[in-house]
Amino acid sequence: MDSLLSTITKAFPPINREGWPFVAISAVLTLVIGAFWQPLFWILLGLTIWVAAFFRDPTRVTPEAEGLVIAPADGRISHLVEVLPPPELGLPAEPMLRISIFMNVFNVHVNRMPITGEIEKIVYTPGKFLNAELDKASLDNERNALVIKHSLGTIACVQIAGLVARRIVSWTTEGSHLTVGNRFGMIRFGSRLDVFLPLGTVPLVALGQTTLAGETPLADLTRTGATPLRTHAS
């Protein structure tokens, strides 16, 4: 029995608490409306399954090493450029390395800490809902920025709403100290995460590469060569 439960758990990751109201509403609509027309029942059932899948929150095993920056989101590396950070971050007006991860509606949307550190500042900025893959989305779209102070300095992680996304959720507060891989928020339904790193940081990803939140190394802040990695599950 324990083996069967373990198999089921691995096949169907848990649903994040943010998703249960949406799953419940979708399930009720499926039963009520589907009772009047069977073909519509199957369509709505498929929608309910997709909603449950969207809010899945699987366990991740996070690499840990001094200066290692881990992907805060599942998705695809859409930009890898040197730019000035958004002014609301309060960071020096100097170029930084920006690594952008685009999340489509089929990715896991729970966001995780890219590095262990203190949340020095959280800044919400209202804006547009342009396609999150556009470069200008980082300055024009609605977004929520976290400035993170860690042992080697300061980086920033910015949640950006997209065409479909209409709700950025944050589960942390200024002054909180979080460990790399900890969950800090999510974006509903399709969006982007930008990570701003000091200029000269060594990226460990390439354009088009797929990332997993809490698992995929994005960059190395130390540039000191290979470092043995530790891991932890969360």
Given 29, 54, 79, the domain boundary residue is 54
Q: Residues 6 or more apart from 56 whose CB is under 8 A from it?
A: 12, 13, 14, 15, 16, 19, 108
Across-strand partners of 61? Answer: 233
Q: Please indicate, yes or no, whether residues 84 and 177 belong to a single structural domain of this protein.
A: yes
Active-site positions read 191
Do 106 and 87 lie in one domain? The reply is yes
Residues facing residue 99 across a β-bridge: 80, 195
- The whole-model pTM stands at 0.82
pLDDT tens-digit map of 112-121: 999 999 999 9
**In a shared domain, residues 35 and 131:** no
106 with 70, same domain? yes
**Cα separation of 148 and 232, whole Å?**
21
Domain count, the chain: 2
Q: 13 lies in a domain?
A: yes
- Please check whether residue 71 is in contact with residue 114, taking contact to mean a CB–CB distance below 8 angstroms: yes
pLDDT digits (tens, 9 = 90+) for 159-202: 998 766 557 888 999 999 999 999 999 887 668 999 999 998 98
Q: Are residues 84 and 140 in the same domain?
A: yes
**Are 154 and 196 contained in the same domain?**
yes
